[in-house]
Structure 1
């Protein structure tokens, strides 16, 4: 799609392919919470944000992905890096098996999307986390049929829908693709 590297006009990042959007923390996590090494999640008490885990009060979050197939994209996917809220028990189970072959054996677990995607969609959205092999983040599928991501995951997204989603975050990817 992009034949050469381009620079995003909003953030200055350089891209050689379509942007995969990533959230650095769950929406409930205060911006001033420092991001620590993963070991802090078991070593620290109270609120903790690491690369892959977050604990805010009694809430537990894991980093995950949400994939959207691109229509006509030869099985290409747009991947949203996001966060999911899980039960304390599922959090401990996942933490215990993180980076181990047994992680995949956890199967599917209920979860709540913990980032407003697209922006402005405020309430947490129900979904399921599919635990995958070690080194891969769990994949979230949206369960609520009325949510915009549900239909995008079911039918896929055309390029214009993907550009609209990215534009809602301030990334004018259409101009990177169509401008020479």
Structure 2
């Protein structure tokens, strides 16, 4: 048992059978936050499963080319202290054309392995808004795994969060900054 197991808010947050007394909302634990495009994408987002093409700019659920730059949709996992769980950001990394094209090879039949590479954070993340253009390492992905690359921040508060974890209170603050303040719904029975 961890100290987090003693936190009544954590218990309420993970109890799918509990309805909030003020609004009836239920919670099922940690949920991830994702971004449909890099922060400086100037066009509309694609429909579900679709693609946006505006001149030389292109965007779909996994790939983006904008203003001569290349982006990949990635996943950043952050451990939650006191639990075995992780919180994830579905974010975009600006990468070189070589890294981008290597990732494109994972779509071939048969798929190629993604060698990984380096990139820069291309989204403003709640709870980490002072982190700008953070260097990232994209992990290799086997071609037979249909998955987005995992990324690790190389510096700053994001690197610290990934290596040391974040508290449950910090996670709730991140949700609140993202426009989903659930703290009031976890304080009463």
* Interval of TM-score (by shorter of Structure 1 and Structure 2): 0.7 to 0.9
8 A Cα contact 1:20 1:79, kept in partner? yes
Taking the aligned partners of 2:49 and 2:140, their CA distance within structure 1 comes to 18
Aligned to 1:175: 184
After superposition, residues 29-44 of structure 1 pair within 5 angstroms as 29-30=41-42, 32-35=43-46
Gaps of 5+ in 1: none
Taking the aligned partners of 1:72 and 1:166, their CA distance within structure 2 comes to 18
Matched, 1:116 2:124: yes
Aligned to 2:3: none
Taking the aligned partners of 1:59 and 1:165, their CA distance within structure 2 comes to 29
Moved more, 110-119 or 65-74: 110-119
Aligned to 1:93: 102
Taking the aligned partners of 1:63 and 1:140, their CA distance within structure 2 comes to 10
Aligned-residue offset at 1:28: 1.2
Q: TM-score, normalised by structure 2?
A: 0.76
Taking the aligned partners of 2:50 and 2:102, their CA distance within structure 1 comes to 16
| Distance of aligned partners of 1:59 and 1:159 in 2 relative to their CA distance in 1, 3 Å threshold | same
Taking the aligned partners of 1:91 and 1:38, their CA distance within structure 2 comes to 20
Aligned-residue offset at 1:116: 1.0
After superposition, residues 124-143 of structure 1 pair within 5 angstroms as 124-133=133-142, 134-143=145-154
Taking the aligned partners of 2:26 and 2:98, their CA distance within structure 1 comes to 40
Aligned to 2:162: 153
8 A Cα contact 1:114 1:124, kept in partner? yes
Aligned to 2:4: none
8 A Cα contact 1:85 1:113, kept in partner? yes
| Distance of aligned partners of 1:165 and 1:17 in 2 relative to their CA distance in 1, 3 Å threshold | same
| Distance of aligned partners of 1:108 and 1:157 in 2 relative to their CA distance in 1, 3 Å threshold | same
RMSD across aligned C-alpha pairs, in angstroms?
A: 2.9
Q: TM-score, normalised by structure 1?
A: 0.79
| Distance of aligned partners of 1:178 and 1:136 in 2 relative to their CA distance in 1, 3 Å threshold | farther
Matched, 1:25 2:37: yes
Indicate the structure (1 or 2) with the bigger Cα radius of gyration.
2
After superposition, residues 102-113 of structure 1 pair within 5 angstroms as 103=112, 105-113=113-121
